Structures are given as C-alpha cells and as structure tokens.
Amino acid sequence: MIERQVDAIIGLQMGDEGKGRFAHQLAANYPMVARFNGGANAGHTFSHNGREVNTHQIPSGITHEGVVNLITISSYVDPKALLEEANGLWEIGIPVSGRNLKVSDGANLVLPHHIMRDNIRELSKDGQGSTGRGISFVGSDKYERIGVTLNDFINDPQLVKSRVIEGIDGVNRSLDELFVSVMEDDDLEDSNREQLLENICNAVGVANLEWASWKEATGEIRAYETDTFEFIHEALGKGQTLLAEGAQSSGLDIEHGMRPETTSSHVTIGGALSSIGVGPRAIGEVYGVAKLPKSRVGGTPESFPTRITDEEIAARIRGNAGDIDGEYGKSTGRERMVGWLDLPELRRSVLVNEVTQLVFTKLDCIPRAGDYTQVATHFVGEDGQPVEIAPNFVSKVRKMKPEYEQLPTWEEDISGVRRFDELPENAKAYLEFIKSQLGVEITMVGVGPESEQFIDMRVAT
C-alpha cells in the first residue's frame, strides 16, 4: 500500500508566487518530480550554479543529477516548445534525455491550430489576456475527446496529420472572416486596423509548413515517451518518493479558481492525484506557496480585490523589469498587477489543498510599501456581514469590500537573515499574525531572490 510517499508544492494565489525556487530546492530530496498540470503557459524561475534558469514545461528537478522528471497525463505538451526548452537547457550545461525526462504517452499535445486559434481570439474583442500558448483550445479538444496524445502520434501519424491540416484550414477560414470584420469595423483607429490586418495576413496559409515543423519536433520528443502511471507505481512500490509540482496556482484552477478567469486544467491537490494516478493516502506534505505581497499577470482588476491602485506604491513593490524578483511575467514579459495579501483567498486555498506547510516569498519586499503594510483579513458583503473565505466567482467578489489590518514594517535589511529569531520584531510579528489567521505552520520564508536567501524553520535554529 502506498502511503505518504507523494508530497506536493502548490501555489495558493493566482500564480507568480515564486514557487519555482522552492520546488527546485525541494526537488533535490526526491528521486522523482512530476509536473501534473498546465503546459508552456506557465513558467518557473530559479537560480542554478549562479545563473537564472527558466523552465516552462520541464519540472524543476531537471538540474539535479539522479532525479527523474515526469510530465504526467493531465499536462498539455507543446512539442516544439518542449524541444526548444530541452535544447536551451543543454546549451547551459544541463543535460536532458530519456533518462531524466519522461513524458506521459497519454498527455494531450498542443497542435499548431490551437496556438493559432488562441492568438486569433486575442486579436479580437473576445481576448482573455491569454499567454497565446493554445491551452484553452487543447483543453477543449481533450474534453470533447477529439484531442491528440503522444500515443496517437506514434500509432497513427497520418490521422494526426489530417487533423492538423484540417484544423489549420479551419483557422484560415476564421482569419478570412476576421479580416472582413476588421475592414468593416468603423470604431477601429487606422493604426490599430493596419496592425491587425498585418497580423492576420502573416498567419494565413501555413498548414503544410506548420505540420512539417510540428511533426519533426514531436518525432524528437518520442525519446521521452513513457507510461508515467506505470513508471511511478513501480517506483513507489519500491519505496521511492515523489514531489508533485504544480505549474499554475489554486486561484486559477478550472473548478476552484476565480471563475471565469481560470486556466484550463486542475491545479489543486485533487488534480495532482488524478494526473499522477494515486489515491489520497499517498499524499504526505502539501507545501502551499504564497507571495508577500501578492501579484498577478493577466486577468482583470475585478478578480484582484486587494490590488494596489496607488501607482507610486505599486511601482515600488513591482520593482524593475530586469531584476530577478521584478514583477513581470516570465512567459509573457507583461507587467504584473500587485496588491496586499489576501487572507480570505489563502483560507480557501489552504482548505481545498489541505495545506500542511506554508511557504512565503518576498518578505524582504514588504518595507517597499512604506511605514505600514496592509493585510486583508476578511471581506464585507452587500449585507454588511463579514466573509472569511473568498468566493471563487468574480461576479461575487466584485460586490464585496476587503477589510484590512494595518501592520508596521521595518527598516532593517533582512536579505542575509537565515534564522527566524534574527528577524526584526515587526517582521516576526507580521508572520505570526498571518499564522494565527490561517492556522497552518509557516516553515519556509524567502528573504531575497537568490536560492539561498530563505529562512528554513523546519530545522533547528
């Protein structure tokens, strides 16, 4: 019987919590690391041998010798992006092969027309702030049971080719319709119209070219093809352990996230169980990662009720685009919204994931707010009653008002602190307040952007 052999690390907000660095650190302690959701629309950043490493689909354990990295069945695999990522890691001295990277043969593949359709939608008035990686469209095909898996490609490439060509032909027809609508839209400024028309024309008539390059990349990633379910259970049966690595975060979960502004996969611990293929008794520790203060790239301000609207404060907290801890998307480069810590949101995520250990990042950035920082302790509904646990619908949240506790910050530089008892009194009080509100132990706290800049409260101090 498999019991408590699978630990998980999951973001508790709406992404960008900095969980990549902690996933990378924790991964060194496990023989297996499994990415269980999402696709190339996510990004993890961590430091390895003094240099910044960005991964998108490959798990964070790839830099650790002897660790097997698995992309399990619920993930969406972009073959071209995965091959590019693997080659990029090779170039900086990190080997990637079928020995240390395995891709589920049942994972759905991102096809060329998924990406094209995604970008068409973003060109239109129905844009959702997508990363343009085709994720919602591959997810749609998956649940309509017309998606293409790696196993499908291996067994019947001609059938896959016909689906790709048919899909791209459909995209071209949509582009023709979009071209006409742009030409006839009297509300568009001429400069915007010209840019849209240029983008549309560049996307037309690429079916055979896209199929050829996609087929070549998919053929190369066959070297990683594995029945990850069988591989994992064989290893667990021998007593090995596994770290489940979430790509996006609970606030983006297709079920429990801030609907409708979610991703297209299951991001919570339930998604990990399903994708890896284990039952609840297999789960041991669940590390929940949150950022101090919160940030998000994409989405609407309505889904971010604690967003800081004072641009001067927001700019100080956001930092610079070129900095490793700058609040800019790793996959998109877009400027992130920043805001105060939202405890109602964290309560929901803690419950849905049964978080056993809290991990916080960017404690060192709290003083950027000024003499005081704010923490949303609850919302107030239209009826004037307090709401302790955040709802997961934008339509509900927009009718609520966050209520804040104001806490003093500190002047000391804490980037070199490695023990909780060495923190300034106000920093300790800040963390103790959060712990008392959430009722979960805080075990790791980031005090700077580098991998070694954190306090580990799990070890004796």
Nearby residues of 391 by Cβ (< 8 Å), 6 or more positions away: 397, 400
460: Cβ–Cβ under 8 A, 6 or more apart, which residues? Answer: none
* Secondary structure letter of residue 363 according to DSSP: G
Residue 425: CB partners within 8 Å, gap ≥ 6? 410
Question: Over the range 280-300, which residues count as b (16 or more CB within 10 Å of their CB) and which as e?
Answer: eebbeebbbbbbbbbbbbbbe
Q: Which residues are catalytic?
A: 16, 44
Both tokens assigned to 69: 């990295």
Structure tokens at 56: 């998108």
Radius of gyration, CA atoms only, the chain = 23
Spatial distance between the Cα atoms of 328 and 334, rounded to a whole number of angstroms: 5
The C-alpha angle 381, 385, 389, rounded to 5 degrees, equals 70
Cα separation, 13 vs 290, in Å, equals 6
How many CA atoms are closer than 13 Å to the CA of 156, on its beta-carbon side? 8
Considering only CA atoms, which of 377, 372, 382 is closest in space to residue 404? 377
Please provide residue 359's backbone torsions phi and psi, each rounded to the nearest 5 degrees: -125, 125
Q: What CA–CA distance (Å, rounded) separates 90 from 284?
A: 33
β partners of residue 446: 454
Q: State which H helix or E strand residue 223 sits in.
A: none
